[in-house]
Structure 1
Amino acid sequence: MRFFIPILIGRILRALARARGGGSAYPGYIVLKLVPNFLQHVTKQFPNGVVFVLGSNGKSTTTHMISDIVRAHGLRVFTNPSGANLPQGIASALLSEVSLTGRLKADIGILEVDEAFAVELAGILSPSTVTMLNVQVDQLYRFFETERVATMMLDTAALSSANVITNHDDQFLDAYSAVDGQRVLRFGASDEVIAAAPNGLQNADDFATSAERARTTADAEVIAHTGDGATIRFDGADIPVRLPARGLHYAVDAAAATATASAALGAQFRADAVTTAFGTMKPAYGRGERLPIAGESAEFTMFKNAASLQLNLDALPDHPEQVLMAIDEGTPDISWIYDIDFSKLDHVDVVSGDKAWQIAIALEHAGVRIGRVEPDVEAAIKHMEQLGATTSGTKNFIVNYEIMMIARKALGHPDMEKTA
């Protein structure tokens, strides 16, 4: 009964937050203050353990992929679908699933976790599987060095009780060695697939590691990729998948998800269930998601750093017809924007957000025509609505996380949790 009152309070706060038009980590914060061991108590109930997903980019997408694959095997999944990857966010997400007595009906927990809190959370939640996606240049105002982020991930992986899934194409992460009887699986893309990508995989370089590393085959390897289709070679089988969005990075995420699901499911794993899961998989919110706008679709391309912007631009069709590009203070330092290859864009119809003029200068420098600079996001969306129809039926929104949430709300889709 000691959980009854805190969970009831948390649920009331959560309902109030959602009534205002969105989710909030505040209910989880309050529950953890009232019952500090709430996370430990609930997550110990998963018979198939807890999976952590870490990485500079791709956490939400890969968590979404793993969850759908595991569901295709008939298991009940708890996950944090809105990307709430801090302790209070995970606790808040649990409030929608747990009973007032603290019981949870789920077979496995699959959690996106912020790297800075991963070691702390691993001590609390005891993950059975840790998946490390990539180390890319991101949030240097917060982490200072990419090597520091790699260390956080590697330290977390060492705390996994059974499995570690790591990126064969990442110099920082491929060096991981098993401890205490762990099973290590590696994922990646073939040399041929990477060579065909306009700007590679964008992983950060470990300059202390020789560039002439011996190349071996990954356990789960992307051997073919075209648009939103890919083939993953895993455990002697070639698994065809339809990706939820375009881009090589999504194919590599799919390989990571396949290896992770196999490790978590053990003998239950079936390759055909992977193809089935991807066949009906929807995009994780904001990542290739399409929402109605003026009788057409707004296709969201979300980024937060140079690597994610470049990989997503590389996946675009040449010279999309209508483009909105927006960044706000959620991405504090965008000096990296001058390193971006903008050749896929011949124009941008409207530039928006708090950093609209900074984007405009970078686009001008790259020779990309700009139709309008409108810092107000809602006004910029109105402008996109008034541009008229496209031949493709698609208006491209290239935005960071915070702008994505504002745009979704402006288009009538504020509740991200229902998109999972």
Structure 2
Amino acid sequence: MKYVFPILLGRLARVLARARGGGSAYPGYLVLKLAPSFLTDVTKQFDRGVLFVLGSNGKSTTTHMLSEVMRAHGLRVFTNPTGANLPQGIASALLSEVSVFGKLKADVGVIEVDEAFAVELSGLLHPSTVLMLNVQVDQLYRFYETSRVADMMTDTAETSSAHVVTNRDDEYLGPFTNPALDVTRFGASSDLVAAAPHGLQNANDFASAGERAALGAEAEVTGLTASGATILLGSETLEVRLPARGLHYAVDAAAAIQAARVALGAEFRSDRAVAAFAAMKPAYGRGERLKIGSDEAEFIMFKNAASLQLNLDALGTAPEQVLLAIDEGTPDISWIYDVDFASLDHVDVVSGAKAWQIALRLEHAGIPIGTVEPDIEKAIDLMRALPAPSTKTKNFIVNYEQMMIARKMLGYPDLEKRA
């Protein structure tokens, strides 16, 4: 009974926040103020434990992949699908699932977690498996040093009660070990990494291939196509369809499969994992294709130099129509001068609060610009007005906040509103 009032009040706050068009984390903040033990008590109900997903980039995508693989094994999964990864965001996601008495019908929690709050959350949620994806240069205004982010992740990994899955190819994370834990690794073959235009964009690369290879990887990406990947899982070779293109998505898939494998133990079946990927849709705003008139808008989301570079590298050929937008959700974009824009031969519309900064960078790179329109809603109207592309695809390369606005303008509410 102790959660009835906080949950009802939190749900009322959700309704009011929706009516105002945002504020999805506030209801969770309110519940945690009224009931500080809410997260711990609710997640204790997961018979199969809690799985944490950490990393500078790829958390939402990998959380989505891992959730779908676990569902393919017949489990009821709770997750935070919009990427709300702070304590209040996770509490808000739980609000849409629990009964008024705090009961939750789920077998396992697959939760994306912000690195700065990961140790705190591990003390509340007691993860049985911690998956560490990568350490890439991100939010230096907040984290100061990438090594500090690595320490946050490895400190969290030390709290796992059973399994740690880490990135063999990341020099910060690959060497992690703890004799009390089952530590396994994922990665990509040396040939694939060498063939990628800018590698995997990890913040620190191994000094020698021998050091990297010595660690081994239980799940390794050995082949890549425009729509899929070959993953060597132990002695078994899996052909996996990817929900979005690029080597980084293939590596995320290997990470998700290995995490599911150790979490499920003897119950894991590779054919079910492959089937999950075959039916999988892209994660929220990450490679999604949404209708825009008679054409489709493909959303390519980024938040830092590494994610932007990896997504640009995955384009293959220059897109026919492109909108590029960044707003104040990315306060310092000086890193944009480290990005190679060679995969673009033009940009039709530049938008967001940082539009003129992007335009200056593109000018330095010699990339023609059609229009600079800082207002994202007007910019989307300009994209709508362009002639139908022969590819039937209008590419939206945007950060998170601009993606949210664009989706709503195209008639697609966020996942919180569909809950």
TM score, norm. by length of structure 1? 0.97
Change (3 A) 1:214 1:383: closer
AA of the residue aligned to 1:108: V
Query: Residue 342 of structure 2 aligns with which residue?
Result: 343
SS at match of 2:45: coil
Q: How far apart, CA to CA, are the structure 1 residues paired with 2:26 and 2:416?
A: 16
The structure 2 residue matched to 1:213, chosen from 211, 214, 217, is 211
Q: How far apart, CA to CA, are the structure 2 residues paired with 1:212 and 1:339?
A: 28
Shift of 1:235: 2.3
Change (3 A) 1:214 1:187: closer
Residues 5-404 of structure 1 correspond to what in structure 2 (within 5 A)? 5-22=5-22, 24-179=24-179, 181-205=180-204, 213-216=211-214, 217-404=216-403
Q: How far apart, CA to CA, are the structure 2 residues paired with 1:56 and 1:246?
A: 19
Change (3 A) 1:175 1:137: same
Q: How far apart, CA to CA, are the structure 1 residues paired with 2:284 and 2:234?
A: 31
Q: Gaps (5+ residues) in structure 2?
A: none
SS at match of 1:349: strand
SS at match of 1:343: coil
AA of the residue aligned to 1:245: A
Tell me if the contact between 2:169 and 2:187 (Cα under 8 Å) persists in the aligned partners. Answer: yes
Deviations 1:181-207 (A, max 9, x none): 210110000011111211110000169
Q: How far apart, CA to CA, are the structure 1 residues paired with 2:201 and 2:93?
A: 32
Q: How far apart, CA to CA, are the structure 1 residues paired with 2:154 and 2:316?
A: 36
Q: How far apart, CA to CA, are the structure 2 residues paired with 1:336 and 1:197?
A: 20
Shift of 1:414: 2.2
Structure 1 stretch displaced more, 133-142 or 223-232: 223-232
SS at match of 2:102: coil
Q: How far apart, CA to CA, are the structure 2 residues paired with 1:338 and 1:414?
A: 33
Shift of 1:415: 2.1
Change (3 A) 1:212 1:391: same
SS at match of 1:288: coil
Tell me if the contact between 1:242 and 1:278 (Cα under 8 Å) persists in the aligned partners. Answer: yes
Please report the RMSD computed on the Cα atoms of aligned residues, expressed in angstroms. Answer: 1.4
Q: How many residues align?
A: 418
Shift of 1:214: 4.7
Structure 1 stretch displaced more, 111-120 or 329-338: 329-338
Indicate the percent of aligned positions where both proteins have the same amino acid: 70
AA of the residue aligned to 2:264: L
AA of the residue aligned to 2:302: F
Q: How far apart, CA to CA, are the structure 2 residues paired with 1:182 and 1:221?
A: 21
Q: How far apart, CA to CA, are the structure 2 residues paired with 1:22 and 1:249?
A: 30
Tell me if the contact between 2:168 and 2:212 (Cα under 8 Å) persists in the aligned partners. Answer: no
